[in-house]
Amino acid sequence: MLAIGAVASVVGVAIALSIDWFPTRAAAKVNEIDTLYRVLLSVSVPIFVLVMTVAIYSVVKFRARPGDMSDGAPIHGSTRLEVIWVTIPFLLVTGLAIYGWVVLNDVEAKQQGETVVKVRGQQFTWHFQYPGPNGKTVDSDVLYLARDQPYKFEITTSDVIHSFWVPEFRLKQDAVPGQTTHVRITPDRVGTYAVVCAELCGLGHATMRNTVRVVEPNQFKAWLEQQARGAAATAGGGAAPGGGAAAGKQVFTSNGCGACHTLADAGTSGTTGPKLDDIAAAAAKFGKQRGLTAAKYVKQSIEDPTAFVVPGYPPVMPSFKGRVQGAELDALVEYLLSVSGGKGGSG
């Protein structure tokens, strides 16, 4: 049994370590986490293999032959064996727990000059808020990050439990109602990734993904300043007469509508929700059936998305009531109707 177990362990560990388990490494300390995983795997495989070897060997060797009705020999326990099989797992598990704690402690350590980004989960999207220039804040539904900048993500939720997870950064943290949880990450590789919700949170759980863009620090700075200007422009009166559509495009972009909706004018290609390139005609038609103008129909669809669900699409769009309102909402409606062939005018 020991010989079979030893050979099977060597083969098992070799196979386990040869498999590339992990997605791209895109943050500092990812190697530490991956090494921890490989150590756990290397320790677990021999135990699994030895237990299975003993079990299979015993089933084959000591099985009852046909006609054999006799009982096994009476066994009264073995103190030495029991001490051994309690002590070994105890030492193993304690050692691994200490190793795991050391890694976790290092990964969670406060970093010099870290930026706090507020993360809010909501059925079924993520919202991010950055400290902007001049004490202002910048909101985005795309998680822009500067390479090599340490971040502390402060995580909350507007409704149920979600879990903030970017597989390329490895770490995961729950968003719990009534609490602020946090996780520290320093992205170190430029690229596009995804925040994935890792806690079953309702019908749209599988669609709860937002884009992460790790960019060079100067690009990040430019983006942040541009967002701050854009927010100021819409907050300060928003839709100027005739200029509503342009402001609406900014509202469309900054609220991440394109993550789920295709709209050629905004260059987006999401497929979770209906395509918006022909929303004007659809809104006119379906609005008329309900005695609404196209603008009212679109407006209500943004504030109360479950009111009119387009067949074939899951009813997963969060309400934007209170998030996009007043002049911003009017501008968004005007924009959507104008770029899809309607006359605009948001009433």
Query: Site residues (CB under 6 A) for ligand CUA?
Result: 121, 124, 162, 197, 199-201, 205, 208
Minimum CB distance to ligand CUA, residue 23 (Å): 19
Minimum CB distance to ligand CUA, residue 125 (Å): 9
- By beta-carbon proximity to ligand CUA, the closer residue of 199 and 334 is 199
Cis peptide before 124 (omega within 30 of 0): yes
Cis peptide before 320 (omega within 30 of 0): no
d(CA 233, CA 138) in angstroms, rounded, equals: 13
Q: What number of other Cβ atoms are within 10 A of residue 5's Cβ?
A: 19
* Distance, CA of 144 to chain centre: 14
- By beta-carbon proximity to ligand CUA, the closer residue of 118 and 205 is 205
- By beta-carbon proximity to ligand CUA, the closer residue of 127 and 249 is 127
**Residue 253 and residue 267 in contact, taking contact as beta carbons nearer than 8 Å:** no
Minimum CB distance to ligand CUA, residue 183 (Å): 16
- By beta-carbon proximity to ligand CUA, the closer residue of 93 and 203 is 203
- Look-up of token digits 């495989």: 45
- By beta-carbon proximity to ligand CUA, the closer residue of 128 and 335 is 128
Minimum CB distance to ligand CUA, residue 201 (Å): 3
258: which residues sit within 8 A by CB, 6+ positions away? Answer: 252, 266, 267, 268, 269, 270
Minimum CB distance to ligand CUA, residue 121 (Å): 6
φ and ψ at residue 280, rounded to 5 degrees: -60, -50
